[in-house]
């Protein structure tokens, strides 16, 4: 049967946009649909008082993969932003990630050797154990005190679960260093697009038909007929009508406000690491682009449990949910004309560079 399009791409976030770009470049006819009013998924920025506001949480592009860095640089120019958030614990400020600055601020210890000894005193009980969860892994790496001040409270409000019930992989994202280096990432390449992420999204989707404000599920059979192949980037459990029950996700609520001062906190992100403060971080958006505007826009980020009707941001990759996901994945593996990709459809805590790599790899494996 002749169809209007080669590919129908459901979701215009990074996975959908890269997939559409690459297939369009290969001469395929692509249609991208998205239920939101604007394309770009969680990358989409809102321009407020001259500032690109990261509406869906702070996004810092980082990668160790030169090919991926080159790829994004063909679509936009990146600035020299380096992510160095601060931690606020009970009103005191500390550097992140955990490094010699943090340790000096905590204990006034100046030498890496002494810091190691100090931490080892707290971790000796964990020497021989193979950590089974985030709490054990963190304590083994940095000791009880750093865990209690910077990890336990933040993690438990972020994930709505005890740190002892979460996988180690979550905390492995953050480096621990015995040098005075506040760069949150170990990756060689890092930055934020000059002009904001909309520049990247617009470039990826340039010349491609994108229809926004359209919910795939509202006319599923109609959309399924439009193209030879479909790319679905939404929640896999929703795609299969939750037949094995819904997967757990974390959602977010944002409180954004304009402040008529030129600098609110002096840094793009401050993490509030104690449990009693209900938000996890305050983002001051102008700092991503070294903004000189007279005012500023700040956002408080509140984590909440996902329920139907909310946006899903983070998969909760504990054993229970991963096992449930595998059942959905088995259904997905049997589909011959549907591709599933991205953070939600693959139920993986992907960063941007990993999503791009995953979409490009998929395009290379397809022979249609």
Which residues form the catalytic set? 173, 177, 250, 281, 301, 349, 351
Strand partners, 231: 9, 339
Nearer to ligand UDP, 154 or 249 (CB): 154
Q: Which of 151, 229, 283, 359 binds ligand UDP (CB under 6 A)?
A: 151
150 forms part of the interface with ligand UDP (CB under 6 A): yes
76 forms part of the interface with ligand UDP (CB under 6 A): no
Q: Least distance from C-beta 298 to ligand UDP, angstroms?
A: 17
The DSSP annotation for 210-231 comes to EEES--GGGGHHHHHTTEEEEE
Contacting ligand UDP within 271-300 (CB under 6 A): 271, 273
Q: In what helix (H) or strand (E) does residue 362 lie, and over which residues does it extend? A: helix 352-365
Backbone torsion region of residue 61, taken as left when φ is above 0, otherwise alpha when ψ lies between -120 and 50, otherwise beta: beta
Token pair recorded at residue 348: 């993986």
Cβ 18 vs Cβ 355: under 8 Å: yes
Cα–Cα nearest to 253, from 203, 204, 313: 313
205 forms part of the interface with ligand UDP (CB under 6 A): no
317 forms part of the interface with ligand UDP (CB under 6 A): no
32 forms part of the interface with ligand UDP (CB under 6 A): no
Q: Which of 14, 87, 100, 312 binds ligand UDP (CB under 6 A)?
A: 87
Q: Which of 32, 142, 171, 201 binds ligand UDP (CB under 6 A)?
A: 171
Cβ 348 vs Cβ 317: under 8 Å: yes
Which range in 65-73, 124-132, 167-175, 209-217 contacts ligand UDP by CB under 6 A? 167-175
Q: Least distance from C-beta 89 to ligand UDP, angstroms?
A: 9
Q: Which of 42, 63, 155, 321 binds ligand UDP (CB under 6 A)?
A: 155
Dist CA 233 CA 342 (whole Å): 6
Dist CA 61 CA 73 (whole Å): 11
Q: Which of 117, 173, 253, 259 binds ligand UDP (CB under 6 A)?
A: 173
Which are the contacts of 195, defined by CB distance < 8 A and separation ≥ 6? 52, 76, 289
106 forms part of the interface with ligand UDP (CB under 6 A): no
- Which residues of this protein are in contact with ligand UDP, per CB under 6 A? 87, 96, 150-151, 154-155, 158, 170-171, 173-174, 271, 273
């Amino acid at each position: 049967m002749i169809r209007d399009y080669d590919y129908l791409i459901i979701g215009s976030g990074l996975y959908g946009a890269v997939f559409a770009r690459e297939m369009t470049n290969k001469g395929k006819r692509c249609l991208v649909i998205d239920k939101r009013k604007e394309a770009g998924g969680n990358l989409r920025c809102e321009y407020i008082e001259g500032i690109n506001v990261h509406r869906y949480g702070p996004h810092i592009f980082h990668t160790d993969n030169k090919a991926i860095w080159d790829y994004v640089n063909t679509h936009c120019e990146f600035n020299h932003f380096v992510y160095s958030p601060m931690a606020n614990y009970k009103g005191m400020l500390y550097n992140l990630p955990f490094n010699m600055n943090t340790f000096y601020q905590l204990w006034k210890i100046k030498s890496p050797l002494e810091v190691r000894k100090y931490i080892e005193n707290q971790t000796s009980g964990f020497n021989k154990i193979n950590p089974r969860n985030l709490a054990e892994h963190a304590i083994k790496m940095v000791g009880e005190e750093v865990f209690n001040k910077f990890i336990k409270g933040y993690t438990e409000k972020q994930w709505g679960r005890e740190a002892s019930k979460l996988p180690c992989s979550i905390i492995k994202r953050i480096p621990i260093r015995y040098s005075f280096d506040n760069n949150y990432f170990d990756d060689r390449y890092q930055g934020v697009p000059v002009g904001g992420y909309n520049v990247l999204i617009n470039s990826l989707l340039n010349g491609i038909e994108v229809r926004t404000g359209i919910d795939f599920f509202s006319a599923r059979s109609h959309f399924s007929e439009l193209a030879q192949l479909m790319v679905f980037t939404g929640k896999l459990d929703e795609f299969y009508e939750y037949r094995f029950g819904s997967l757990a996700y974390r959602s977010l609520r944002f409180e954004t406000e304009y402040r008529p001062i030129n600098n609110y906190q002096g840094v793009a992100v401050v993490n509030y690491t104690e449990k009693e403060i209900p938000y996890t971080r305050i983002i001051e958006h102008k700092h991503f682009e070294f903004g000189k505007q007279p005012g500023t826009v700040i956002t408080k980020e509140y984590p909440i449990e996902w329920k139907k009707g909310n946006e899903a941001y983070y998969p909760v990759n504990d054993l229970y949910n991963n096992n449930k996901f595998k059942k959905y994945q088995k259904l997905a593996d049997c589909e011959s004309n549907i591709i599933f990709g991205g953070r939600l459809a693959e139920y993986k805590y992907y960063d941007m560079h990993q999503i791009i790599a995953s979409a490009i790899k998929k395009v290379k494996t397809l022979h249609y």
